[in-house]
Amino acid sequence: MARKTYEDLRSARWYGAADLRAFGHRSRTLQMGYSREDWNGKPVIAIVNTWSEINPCHTHFRQRAEEVKRGVWQAGGFPVELPAISLSEPFQKPTTMMYRNLLAMETEELLRSYPADGAVLMGGCDKTTPALLMGAASMNIPSIFVPAGPMLRGNWHGKTLGSGSDTWKYWAELKVGNISERDWEEIEEGIARSPGTCMTMGTAATMMSAVEALGMSLPGSSAIPAPDSNHSRMAALSGRRIVDMVWEDLKPSDIMTEGAFENSISTVMAMGGSTNAIVHLIAMAGRLGLPIDLDRFDAISRRVPWLADIRPSGRWLMEDFFYAGGLPALLGELKDLLHTDAVTVSGKTLGEDIANADVYNEEVIRRRANPMSKQGGLAVLRGNLAPNGAVIKQTAMDPKFMKHRGPAVVFADYNDMAARLDDPNLEVTPDSVIVLKHAGPQGGPGMPEWGMLPIPKKILEMGIRDMVRISDARMSGTSYGTCVLHVAPESWVGGPLAFVQDGDMIELDVDGRRLHLDVSDEELAARKAAWTPPQRKFERGFGAIYADHITQADKGCDFDVLMGTMATPEPEIH
């Protein structure tokens, strides 16, 4: 492989020219206390850091950024830390999904407008990971992802707690009086014990694993617990590796190939991963012009077994998964289903990366001969209620609902649901199908994680903990239950979900991949003709830009102006 020379680097345009503007770049770098020897003849490595004081998943990133810099210096690079917007899943409203594309755009433009030769992408909290990868893919300079890693296991009265999953579980028990307010406070105090992302197989763990399988982070990096000293060493090693990647000119487009995306999707299915991965991976592939669609996910799910026994679908947590061998061990069980010739940031193939991997706990990571299920975790549904598709996590639902028919109980929006759900007079039974409208990309706005619709209190009091629920929203990867999500087109833009009425019969057939509204085409057409489109929510600012350019869930919810591989010119330097 031909290696670049200094003159080939982007940063040489800023630092290497013999003109007045380059004088300014050099003198201002000297102003910051650097010596000429710090940058002269070296690649500039942009460390895109999504740390903030309101993102608990990334509270260790200040230290990790210093460790990345240590690795960059060791390898002969010049590290420059560039802060980027921090998408904090617990705090940012209405949803971090509304701002994923903003971070993707910021990442791309940071890397383009500054003298970056390579990038270290620091993320992990749900939407941060795909946003960073989307921006890096569009910019297409050598890049490596440093995952935040999962937090430690939670604990309450000797019971292991999993973030998100046990929140929903014990909230239901509190509502019906099975635990006390003091119990609830103790759970609150014990469920999140360290820096890092959710330690269940939520969206954060799913996407960090998916990116490792995609080849964009170092082998074995995605499951390292955030407080583990291995995580510090991984950060420094990533800093060292990116310098070589710059000289090798190993770019995202060389790694993020169609085969690599299939590896990533296979990983999501084998781990019982989050439904959010579908939206994010479609968006990431769209930045490279790759034809990854819903049908690809469903086809892979049908042939890839579910092997990782991790909550909410299973029993264990990401800390256990790491000790059991981590992602290389799981991928080792899937070798014949993977494109092992795919190149990774290591400079080797995926097959070489996992050649010596082994499973150390066969309860946590099942062997192929003993899968949790012969099919993967997610299924894609279609029918007259979701012409462009909907998704469900089949591994996290009550199996009795795999085939179900019941009457709709419809809520116009989230506020309507919050006001009426626990009304004792609500006409709802355990067989009902709860429907939430106006929770999609436009309707939410931002397609919030409202899709694990709460179960009415009077149903909970019967001892029932699952029902069929349908919406155009997403749900947290830490959630569980029979929740049909991402219904496309969404109700806000006139998708069929907009026309469902109380009492309409809805059929769900997961094995048959079918979601059907038992209403005639003629009746649906009449309801659509009488429908009034809702009023636009934003007339200015980012909300207006979002409304003008967001695509539907089946297209990845990217901005239409950010998709594709059309060339963007390098900045002129004058």
Length of the chain: 574
User: Quick one: pLDDT band at residue 398, thresholds 50, 70, 90?
Assistant: very high
pLDDT band at 68 (very low <50, low <70, confident <90, very high): very high
At 20 the pLDDT is: 96
**Predicted local distance difference test score (pLDDT) of residue 70:** 98
Category of 124 on φ-ψ map: left (φ > 0), alpha (ψ -120 to 50) or beta: left
Kindly report, residue by residue over 247-305, the tens digit of the pLDDT. 999 999 999 999 999 999 999 999 999 999 999 999 999 999 999 999 999 999 999 99
pLDDT, tens digit, for every residue of 134-190?
A: 999 999 999 999 999 999 999 999 999 999 999 999 999 999 999 999 999 999 999
Task: Say whether pTM exceeds 0.75.
Answer: yes
Residues 420-459 pLDDT 10s: 999 999 999 999 999 999 999 999 999 999 999 999 999 9
Which candidate, 449, 458, 553, places its Cα nearest to that of 168? 449
Give me the amino acid identity at 479. Answer: S
What's the start-to-end Cα distance of the chain, in Å?
33
pLDDT at 1: 59
Cα(201)–Cα(314) distance, rounded to whole angstroms? 9
The DSSP element (H or E) to which 188 belongs, if any, is: helix 181-190
Would you state the pLDDT for residue 132?
98
In order of 136, 137, 520, the CA distances from 118 in angstroms are 10, 12, 56
Strand segments (E) across 223-338: none
Per-residue pLDDT reduced to its tens digit, 304-332: 999 999 999 999 999 999 999 999 999 99
For residue 2, name the pLDDT band (cuts at 50, 70, 90).
confident
Per-residue pLDDT band for 343 (boundaries 50, 70, 90) equals: very high
- Reduced to 3 states (helix: H, G, I; strand: E, B; else coil), residue 69 is helix
H-state helical runs in 200-255: 203-214, 229-248, 252-255
| Look-up of token digits 């899943």 | 89
pLDDT, residue 212, reads 98
By the 10 Å C-beta count (0-12 exposed, 13-18 middle, 19+ buried), 41 is classed as: middle
The H or E element containing residue 20 is: helix 20-31
Q: What's the distance, CA 251 to chain centroid?
A: 22
- Say if CB 68 and CB 236 are below 8 A apart: yes
List beta partners, residue 380.
391
Query: Which residues share a beta bridge with 469?
Result: 434, 483
- Residue 425, classed as helix, strand or coil, is coil
